[in-house]
């Protein structure tokens, strides 16, 4: 897949959690307190976080992403027999300032230098996204940070992707969308974005409607695909 396959791109939207930000970095900083439960807790926390977004969307029982993040952490800690209020609060605070993957700043700079608009389109609520982008010094590298909160539903509902079209003022077929979450990549492709699935960890493709146009393993490859 070459840059010619992504001609006439006017904007590039990025998922945040798992794509720009390492969702396991919060637990990594508390590995000493969690011991051999660190990885299982982190994995379950992330899995339940995603499940709760989908389930609440189906139930029409929206809660913002911070509440979902707290609820899913509570489930993960309880499932591993951990009852430590101070640890819980530290983990939630750390989640606000997750580590960005090291190639993120340079990738955004390269894309913007090409004249392509950059933005985050995320399940995160505005306070979380502001904290994360500020902590990672990304805010000046983004034209917009778009939360699902105005529509009160989570990805892969098409209303979320439509927010990206409205906020960027660019037609869907001229928007490149990047996500490390295969299900999100499928949802965005089904909606009509030009999707690059950032398959960081060699996952198997999802058997869902919507096929990404390209697959990359690092964000550096995204800039290459866009001809930056």
**Catalytic residue of the set 8, 15, 39, 71:** 15
pLDDT digits (tens, 9 = 90+) for 201-213: 999 999 999 999 9
Instruction: Write out the two tokens for 28.
Output: 């990594």
Query: Quick one: 226 exposed, middle or buried, by C-beta within 10 A (0-12, 13-18, 19+)?
Result: buried
Give the rounded distance of the alpha carbon of 99 from its chain centre. Answer: 13
Q: Of the CATH numbers 3.90.1300.10, 3.90.79.10, 1.10.150.240, 3.40.50.300, which one belongs to the domain with range 25-95?
A: 1.10.150.240
Query: Which has the closest alpha carbon to 113: 228, 6, 8?
Result: 228
Per-residue pLDDT at 4: 53
Left, alpha or beta for 35 (phi > 0: left; psi -120 to 50: alpha)?
Answer: left
pLDDT digits (tens, 9 = 90+) for 98-136: 999 999 999 999 999 999 999 999 999 999 999 999 999
Question: What average pLDDT does the chain have?
Answer: 96
Per-residue pLDDT at 3: 47
Domain ranges within the chain, ordered by starting residue: 3-22+99-225, 25-95
Would the pLDDT of 1 be above 60? Answer: no
Give mean pLDDT, residues 216-227. Answer: 95
CATH number of 3-22+99-225: 3.40.50.1000
C-alpha separations of 161 from 146, 157, 166, 193, 216 in Å: 10, 7, 9, 8, 21
pLDDT digits (tens, 9 = 90+) for 131-166: 999 999 999 999 999 999 999 999 999 999 999 999
- Residue 64 falls in the annotated catalytic set: no
Give the full edge-to-edge strand order of the sheet including 214-216.
Answer: 144-147, 117-122, 11-14, 175-179, 194-198, 214-216
pLDDT digits (tens, 9 = 90+) for 39-66: 999 999 999 999 999 999 999 999 999 9
pLDDT over 70, % of the chain? 98
Q: What is the dihedral of CA 111, 197, 16, 83, to 10 degrees?
A: -150
């Amino acid at each position: 897949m070459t840059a010619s396959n992504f001609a006439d791109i006017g904007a590039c939207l990025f998922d945040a959690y798992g794509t720009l930000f390492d969702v396991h970095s919060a637990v990594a900083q508390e590995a000493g307190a969690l011991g051999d439960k660190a990885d299982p807790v982190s994995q379950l926390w992330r899995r339940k976080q995603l499940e709760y977004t989908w389930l609440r969307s189906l139930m029409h029982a929206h809660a913002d992403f911070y509440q979902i993040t707290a609820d899913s952490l509570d489930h993960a800690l309880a499932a591993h027999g951990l009852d430590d209020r101070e640890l819980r609060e530290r983990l939630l605070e750390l989640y606000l300032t997750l580590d960005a993957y090291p190639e993120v700043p340079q990738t955004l700079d390269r894309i913007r230098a090409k004249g392509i608009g950059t933005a985050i389109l995320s399940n995160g609520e505005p306070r979380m996204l502001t904290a994360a982008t500020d902590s990672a010094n990304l805010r000046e590298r983004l034209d917009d940070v778009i939360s699902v909160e105005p529509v009160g539903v989570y990805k892969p509902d098409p209303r979320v992707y439509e927010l990206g079209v409205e906020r960027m003022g660019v037609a869907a077929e001229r928007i490149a969308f990047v996500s490390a979450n295969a299900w999100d990549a499928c949802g965005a492709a089904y909606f009509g974005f030009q999707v690059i699935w950032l398959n960081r960890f060699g996952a198997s493709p999802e058997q869902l409607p919507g096929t990404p146009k390209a697959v990359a393993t690092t964000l550096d490859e995204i800039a290459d695909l866009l001809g930056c």
